[in-house]
Amino acid sequence: MVECPSGRRHADGRCVTPGKWGGKNAPPQAEPQTPQDHRGDRYKMDHIYNIAKFLHVIGFAFMSIPLFNLIIVNERALMGPSLHYATDRYFENMIKRGAIRCYVFQFTVFVSGIVILFLGPGLSAIWANWVLTAKTLILLFLMSLLSYVHFSIQPKIEKLLESMSPTEPASADLQVKLAPLRILRKKLATVCLFLVITAIILGVQTYSRFH
């Protein structure tokens, strides 16, 4: 029998040919993934997808803050046109802090939507599906309206309220200046609420299309 250069043979008698790394020093080979590994990866992705979808729905539900702001404004109107420091300060604080919460919910909807697309149909679906395109544009427009109210209208209202005194009645001139700003804010809140409802309806259609 011919002697093998490597000094080793297979079970069937063939010589073991050393690789370029040389027999025992050969680098370890990565084991191929088994079907169980693929199922585990798929389970993790499905888990992340479901969490993102849950946060997406919850975020849109809590983006109905414009509805609560409209309720607050209408409740304030029932108290009459005259200004009262404690009352107006209380209502304005609720509206101002609601805008901060709305930013958090909008950011949650945006990020979770990106995750859903990345794990689902792909980011290109934003342009391929008109419903997704409309939802994205609505979300961006909502962010713009919120920024306009929070950084433009609300500071003007806050500046006027700073001139009020807790112990002295407000001047009639202050009421004249406040009324247009509050009316504009109320109209924009109505538009935002309509857009949120529209986006939710479109979201239901998107879910049906993908599933």
pLDDT in tens, 105-158: 999 999 999 999 888 888 888 888 888 899 999 999 999 999 999 999 999 999
State the Cα–Cα distance between residues 90 and 92, nearest whole angstrom: 6
> Which residues partner with 15 through β-bridges?
9
Asked whether the CA dihedral 63, 67, 69, 72 is positive or negative, the reply is negative
How many angstroms separate the CA atoms of 87 and 187, rounded?
A: 22
Model confidence, pTM: 0.73
Task: Indicate the burial class of 62 (C-beta count within 10 angstroms; 0-12, 13-18, 19 or more).
Answer: middle
pLDDT at 50 over 80: yes
